[in-house]
């Protein structure tokens, strides 16, 4: 579906195996630290605890959506189920952990507000029951997450663990 927002054309496509190179860029951006810290050194992507969110993209259960703005890939929101206990937002063996990032030039223009509900609705259609994420308490994206239905569950390593459940099915 194509929508116009602030005179820009936004559409969506699945995040696929052949996107692997750019997924690393987006994961790098998603590792947000409060200002004045900028992006972490790129080597952070070599850490096994970071790689788990992006490596070998396209495994069964992986679900991601790319936002295309004026014909260009602007960023993505992606979900991956990891083994229990693996990943900061780990809940159980079937709850995917979510990442989201837009290239800096596409941030704060309402694109994330379109991308996240689109990704969640695809997850619900795929039978996902709930989605988890962690976010730094100072990350303004918290507002976006709450607006999309995420609720704070607990603190983990200084981050909020947040969860959203699939809407109840019509009887």
Ligand X SMILES: CC(C)(COP(=O)(O)OP(=O)(O)OC[C@H]1O[C@@H](n2cnc3c(N)ncnc32)[C@H](O)[C@@H]1OP(=O)(O)O)[C@@H](O)C(=O)NCCC(=O)NCCS
For binding to ligand X (CB under 6 A), which residues are involved? 29-30, 32, 75, 100-102, 107-113, 135, 139-141, 143-144
Q: What is the smallest separation between the CB atom of 171 and ligand X, expressed in angstroms? A: 33
Here the tokens at position 126 are 């795929």
74 versus 128: smaller Cβ distance to ligand X? 74
Q: What is the smallest separation between the CB atom of 59 and ligand X, expressed in angstroms? A: 22
- Give the residue from 146, 18, 125 showing the smallest Cα distance to 73: 18
32 versus 124: smaller Cβ distance to ligand X? 32
Q: Which residue's entry shows tokens 């309402």?
A: 110
102 versus 163: smaller Cβ distance to ligand X? 102
Tally: H helices and E strands in the chain: 4, 8
Cα separation, 81 vs 77, in Å, equals 14
2 versus 168: smaller Cβ distance to ligand X? 2
Q: What is the smallest separation between the CB atom of 21 and ligand X, expressed in angstroms? A: 18
Q: What is the smallest separation between the CB atom of 76 and ligand X, expressed in angstroms? A: 9
81 versus 101: smaller Cβ distance to ligand X? 101
3-state class (DSSP) for residue 73 = strand
With beta carbons less than 8 A apart as the criterion, state whether 4 and 59 touch. Answer: no
Question: Which are the contacts of 151, defined by CB distance < 8 A and separation ≥ 6?
Answer: 162, 163, 164
With beta carbons less than 8 A apart as the criterion, state whether 57 and 23 touch. Answer: yes
């Amino acid at each position: 579906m194509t929508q116009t927002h602030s005179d820009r054309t936004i559409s969506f496509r699945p995040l696929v195996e052949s996107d692997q190179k750019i997924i690393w860029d987006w994961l790098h951006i998603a590792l947000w630290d409060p200002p004045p810290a900028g992006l972490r050194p790129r080597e952070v992507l070599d850490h096994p605890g970071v790689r788990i969110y992006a490596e070998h993209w396209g495994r069964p259960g992986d679900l991601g959506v790319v936002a295309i703005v004026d014909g260009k890939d602007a960023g993505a929101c992606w979900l991956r189920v990891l083994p229990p206990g693996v990943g900061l937002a780990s809940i159980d063996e079937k709850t995917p952990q979510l990442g989201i990032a837009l290239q800096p030039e596409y941030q704060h223009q309402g694109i994330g507000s379109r991308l996240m509900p689109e990704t969640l609705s695809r997850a619900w259609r795929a039978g996902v029951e709930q989605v988890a994420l962690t976010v730094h308490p100072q990350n303004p994206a918290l507002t976006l997450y709450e607006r999309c239905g995420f609720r704070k569950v607990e603190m983990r390593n200084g981050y909020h663990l947040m969860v959203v459940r699939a809407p109840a099915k019509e009887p």
